[in-house]
Chains A and B, each alone.
Chain A
Amino acid sequence: MAQKVICTFCGSVCDDVEFDVEEFKAKKFCKLGRSKFSKKERIKAPMVDGKEVSYEEATQKAAEILVNAKKPLLYGWASTVNEAIRLGVILTEKVRGVYDQCASVCHAPGTLAVIEEGLPGASLGAIKNRADLVIFWGSNPMEAHPRHPLRYSMSAKGLLISGRKDRKVVVVDVRKTKTAKKADVFVQIKPGYDYPIISALRALIKGEDIEVDEVGGVSKEQLKELAEMMKSAKYGVIFYGLGVTQSRGRDRNIENAVKLIQLLNRYTRFVIWPMRGHYNVVGSGEVPAWEVGYQYAIDFSRGYPRFSPAEFSANEVLQRKDCDAALVIAADPVAHFPKASVKHLKKIPVIQIDPFPNMTTLVADVVIPSAVYGLEAEGTAYRMDGIPLRVKKVIDTEYWSDEKILEELLKKVVELRGE
């Protein structure tokens, strides 16, 4: 019989989906969630240098690598639970390494914007209840968060909104994406022109003129319409995506967008929120924030945390060859980092903790397979809006959870350091 589970794929963390344990069948899921809750190839057993070993031996070898390294990088964390992340932060502090997480190549520029201007936002429930204008800016939920439009944004029903017809949906993007095709208004922009377009909107909303006919491929007329639409909304939201964070301007694009939201709140209510990717990428920033004060790019080489994305983000550390070992958990930097960063990962000892073989497995010296959270293990995850949900364990497994692996690793590191 199907039971309610909580999906552990994307940042939408849908908790209305169902899973039939006997038939191993997922119901109500999107394509991404279904893939998560399906049978696929697993890492069969712990491995050291390609040879199958016990968990005991693999964690021992991993602890040795970490303790012998001068400055290990501990990277990943977005697809595991807070309980594991907390141990990971404490482990990094112990071995005086660098903690970085997937947001570093995803939404961390948004965090830099929060530092500059703050984050005027709302929970997804507040948005579904109130938003009569939804703007997807450089985000494409139809491909990256397929049930988001249904549950929270485009066609979600709520307190003041009875459905899609009560909402205007705008997409601002370089490509006419699947989401754009479902929008009322599509604003096609040139790559890398988010910043000036936002500046133009700020000017127009303040009632100032802009002395050009177009900005970033968008006509002044269309910008005026968009500005008017924003100003006259009762409760608007901008959901921004990697189109903004990974393009020219990066953090500054979002900083400018937050200033736009600050301005709009002088006329009406408006909020902004990032379309966070992995199911617990939010937790991988929140947990270190309360444990050591920062969300990512944290160096402990002096025995206390220091934050600097220019120095301690995974890509900077790797490109500078400033780490001599790496622990990769719940992520695949070999597939997702630029070539220049992967080069160094190939040269140093790598420990991988993951349920599934991936490109990082191909370069890892120690591979430790883990249970799949949401299916084989339980723990706390934060939805993209920071709402905490306890993901479930519905089937038994021989695989250790990340939490158990890290507990063991931490214990062995403490032993090896003679503390």
Chain B
Amino acid sequence: MHHMLHIKNGIVIDTKNGIKAEKMDIFVKEGKIVEESEIDKSQCKVIDASNKLVVAGGVDMHAHIAGSKINTGRTMRPEEMRMVRQIANKFRASVGRVLLTSPAIGYEYAKMGYTTSFEAAQPPIGALHTHEELDAIPMVDKAALPVFGNWHFVFKYVAENDIEKLKTFIAWAIERTKGFGVKVVNPGGVEAWMYGGNCRSLDDEVPNFGVTPREIITSLIKATEELNLCHSVHLHCNNLGNPGNFETTIETMKLANGFSNDKRQVLHVTHVQFNAYAGSSWRDVGSGAAEIAKVVNGMDNVTIDMGAAIFGHATAMTGDAPFQFTLHKLLGARWSNKDSEVEGGAGIVPIMYLPKNPVHALQWAIGLELGLLVESDKVVLTTDFPNGGPFTEYPYVMAMLMSKKMREKELERVSPYVQKAANLPSIDAEKTLDEVMHMTRALSARVLGLENKGHLGVGADADISIYDFNPNEIDTSNDYEIINKAFRNALYTIKGGVIIVKEGQLVDEVWGTTYWVDATNKVDTEAIEEDLDKYFELYYSVEKEHYGVEEAWIKNPTRLVMG
């Protein structure tokens, strides 16, 4: 239920507004954070947050939480569903180990104090399915990023060097899919996979189209910037998962040179852990994290997220279909694949990261290295759920980033290969609590272009989490167990002004909004109508008029019109 709230005497960290662990009160009315004067204290519910950490609700900018990929993963892996988290009561039954049901996704985020999560890869023709699943996730706000990097329209306009039409197409496609921005997965490589190939370097030509990943990425950045979308191009690089790929990643990041945006990065490179391998084979594979960190730190228009690997079960699911086939061959594991019309594809393979496996231990180390070596204003904390592991282990990653002592202890149980192939053992840096809160709140909200998320300033959404420790008293280097525990179960999670979690337990169920971006006011779709008609007639298996998602079909949509 909506109350006016007075969160009293909490110790607030709000990096966007420069508040560093200061004792202060927060006021909430009608789902927003307001000035004290707006509140009628006699009507107000008071939460005593004395000596507790008060921060904005966590914002997960990259997770696979909805749509055909995770759902095929669930179907393929019933063993994942045998972990019972909650028997049906006032709330839905909730099950799942790493893969979770839709209700479980919302509940688990809420318990951690996360209040926003974005689906990072929406197959455009499957957009309605993605939205149905987003609509089935309670508690959090959400959105989906449609994938563009292997869409034939994109190849066509890039080949013709027609940025105007590319912009028009992007605006049309985001509106039709009720998507949020421009996701790119292994540009060109998935088209090559239709012939059994891949594009592992930026200059590999896409079969039959005469374009290269370099041209696709550059054109998409240009178009996205000219449309001034709230989120930048969000890129899963070519050559993912291969030893030596860190060089491709660095070369890719440099494509952002020459572009700038006042508000945010112009290129977000995602789950970089999977793209940060040095060496030439699995025998001599090493960490390329330091080199990547150097490049990111030296640029002011690129951000990344970690894609940290967590020991234990995971399921690889990406739009990078050729990589998934490689993984299937490598592991001999189950493999699902989906080639999708003329839009790209996807694959799914179960995986388990084992501490004693040299490569897995290295992956684990590299994820953490990126979090430690990249400036805190440029790296978001993610596990690329469920690829690197569960999002429910974010507290572990937080604690690890803040404590060298914890890392030393963990290093004792992993393969010694890490000692020679990774930088982690020699890294002394420890992130501060402020930095980690930034990496999970203000930064991820800024990367996405969500102005009302990730902070507690007046006007922000009243998405607030309160944790059971005093940031001014905790020693994050030594008290890592407290950190790891506290962030798993929020003392309070408040979503849109409603208390949904208290002392780590669900107390109320809310349904967040689904954001979608409308940039159609900036283009004239007439310009591409003929091309659309032709492609739908020739290459699609559905009629153009039946393609896409209407706003009215979404439970609780928020349309963001681009200015």
A: residues with CB less than 8 A from B are 4, 6, 15-16, 82, 86, 90, 93-94, 96, 111, 114-126, 128-130, 151-152, 157-159, 234-235, 262, 265-266, 268-269, 271, 285-287, 289-295, 300, 302-305, 307, 380, 382, 386-390, 419
Contacts and interface: CB of A to CB of B under 8 A. Distances in A.
Q: Which 9 A-B pairs rank lowest in CB-CB distance, beginning with the nearest?
A: A293-B81, A125-B541, A125-B341, A122-B339, A388-B128, A303-B87, A118-B334, A126-B339, A120-B337
- Max chain B C-beta neighbours (<10 A), residue from A4, A120, A128, A390: A120
B102 A116 contact: no
B74 interface: yes
Chain A facing B: main interface SS: mixed
16 contacts: A4-B543, A82-B132, A114-B75, A118-B349, A120-B336, A121-B336, A122-B345, A123-B339, A126-B340, A130-B194, A262-B328, A269-B193, A271-B337, A303-B93, A380-B132, A382-B129
Contacts, number: 183
B196 interface: yes
A159 B538 contact: yes
B338 interface: yes
Contact of B541 (A121, A303, A387): A387
A123 B75 contact: no
B390 to A, nearest CB: 15
Contacts of B127: 388
A84 B68 CA distance: 19
Contact of B341 (A90, A123, A234): A123
Contact of B132 (A129, A262, A388, A389): A388
A387 B541 CA distance: 10
Contacts of B542: 15, 125, 387, 389
A257 to B, nearest CB: 14
B125 A234 contact: no
A126 B341 contact: yes
Nearest to A121: B338
B336 A15 contact: no
Contacts of B553: 380, 390
B96 interface: yes
A294 B339 contact: no
Nearest to B84: A304
B342 A289 contact: no
A119 B73 CA distance: 10
A128 B132 CA distance: 27
B81 to A, nearest CB: 3
A94 B133 contact: no
A118 B336 CA distance: 5
Given A120-B336, A122-B340, A129-B342, A386 B129 contact: yes
B78 A293 contact: yes
Q: Chain B contact residues (Cβ within 8 angstroms of A): what range?
A: 35 or more
Nearest to A382: B129
B539 A158 contact: yes
B101 interface: yes
A307 B66 CA distance: 21
Contacts of A130: 194, 339
Given A234-B195, A292-B95, A111 B335 contact: no
A419 B88 CA distance: 12
Contacts of B339: 121-123, 126, 130, 271
B511 interface: no
B334 A116 contact: yes
B72 interface: yes
Given A114-B76, A268-B196, A292 B336 contact: no
- Max chain A C-beta neighbours (<10 A), residue from B77, B342, B550: B342
B157 interface: no
B319 interface: no
A379 to B, nearest CB: 10
B272 interface: no
Contact of A387 (B95, B103, B126, B337): B126
Contacts of A4: 543, 545-546
B417 interface: no
B348 interface: yes
Contact of A125 (B133, B196, B342): B342
Interface in B316-350: 325, 328-329, 334-342, 345, 348-349
A396 to B, nearest CB: 19
A268 to B, nearest CB: 6
B334 A265 contact: no
B76 A119 contact: yes
A307 B75 CA distance: 11
B335 A117 contact: yes
B368 to A, nearest CB: 31
Contact of B538 (A158, A266, A387): A158
Nearest to A293: B81
Contact of B102 (A120, A266, A290, A294): A290
Contact of A269 (B78, B84, B92, B196): B196
A380 B335 contact: no
Interface in B185-199: 193-196
A111 B74 CA distance: 11
Contacts of B195: 234, 269
A151 B542 CA distance: 10
Contacts of A86: 136
Contacts of B72: 114, 119
B477 to A, nearest CB: 40
Nearest to B133: A290
A82 B349 CA distance: 27
- Max chain B C-beta neighbours (<10 A), residue from A116, A269, A292: A292
Contacts of A382: 129
A118 B335 contact: yes
Interface string B123-156: 0011111001100100000000000000000000
A291 B136 contact: yes
B540 interface: yes
A174 to B, nearest CB: 29
A334 B530 CA distance: 51
B325 A265 contact: yes
Contacts of B129: 286, 382, 386, 388
Contacts of B68: 286, 386
Contacts of B86: 304
B75 A304 contact: no
B101 A292 contact: yes
Contacts of B193: 269
Contact of A305 (B81, B90, B545): B81
B75 A291 contact: no
B338 A390 contact: no
Interface in B542-557: 542-543, 545-546, 550, 553
A92 to B, nearest CB: 10
A290 B541 contact: no
Contact of B335 (A96, A120, A122): A120
A123 B541 contact: yes
A93 B88 contact: yes
B71 interface: yes
B93 A152 contact: no
Contacts of A292: 93, 95, 101
A286 B102 CA distance: 12
Given A4-B543, A286-B71, A291 B101 contact: yes
A16 B542 CA distance: 8
Nearest to A302: B87
Contacts of A117: 334-335
Interface string B513-538: 00000000000000000000000001
Given A290-B133, A380-B132, A123 B78 contact: no
A159 B102 CA distance: 37
Contacts of A96: 88
B336 A93 contact: no
Given A94-B88, A269-B195, A304-B87, A159 B539 contact: yes
A304 B541 contact: no
Contacts of B87: 302-304
B444 to A, nearest CB: 24
Contacts of A291: 92, 101-103, 136
